[in-house]
């Protein structure tokens, strides 16, 4: 019989872990954020987007990394008519010269009051 070799997997860090999901996981120098959503659903698309971008900044700081190291952003809008307002907040926030790969789609979100959800993948240098 041959030897069984046990492979050690690099540690996965988890942040704000609950029974269903973690807000962020880090593995091999990459941070994977759960979809971030607004807390104040009474805000318009610009306000909801700003809330989500602040939540992303807060999580990235824990990694520690920042928005200049974002590799990919996946943006889900409840209504594509909100695309210009979302871009208004995004363009003020995203670092010029370090813009990530990005996709934006219209989707039915888990809470009908949410106008936006953003998923981020970022390098942790």
Model pLDDT, residue 3: 55
* Residue-by-residue DSSP string for 5-70: PPPPPPPPEEEEE-SS-EEEEEETTEEEEPPB--S-TTS-HHHHHHHHHHHHHHHHHHTT--GGGE
CATH number of 23-123: 3.30.1330.40
H or E element, residue 122: strand 116-123
Domain ranges of the chain: 23-123
Integer Cα distance of 113 and 41 in angstroms:
6
- Do residues 74 and 37 touch, judged by C-beta distance below 8 A? no
- What six digits make up the tokens of 60? 């990235």
Q: At what angle do helices 45-62 and 83-93 cross, to 10 degrees?
A: 40
Q: Which region holds residue 48: left if phi is over 0, alpha if psi is between -120 and 50, else beta?
A: alpha
Averaged pLDDT in 10-residue chunks for the chain of 125 residues:
55 93 96 98 98 98 98 98 98 98 98 98 97
Model pLDDT, residue 31: 98
């Amino acid at each position: 019989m041959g030897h069984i070799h046990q492979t050690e997997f690099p540690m996965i860090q988890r942040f704000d872990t609950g029974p269903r999901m973690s807000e962020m996981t880090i593995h091999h120098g990459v941070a994977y954020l759960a979809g971030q959503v607004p807390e104040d659903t009474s805000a318009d698309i610009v306000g909801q987007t700003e809330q989500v971008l602040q939540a992303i900044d807060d999580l990235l700081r824990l990694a520690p990394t920042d928005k200049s190291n974002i590799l990919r952003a996946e943006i889900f809008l409840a209504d594509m008519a909100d695309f210009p307002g979302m871009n208004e907040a995004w363009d003020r926030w995203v670092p010029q010269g370090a813009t990530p790969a990005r996709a934006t789609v219209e989707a039915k979100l888990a809470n009908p009051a949410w106008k936006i959800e953003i998923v981020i993948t970022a390098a942790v240098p």
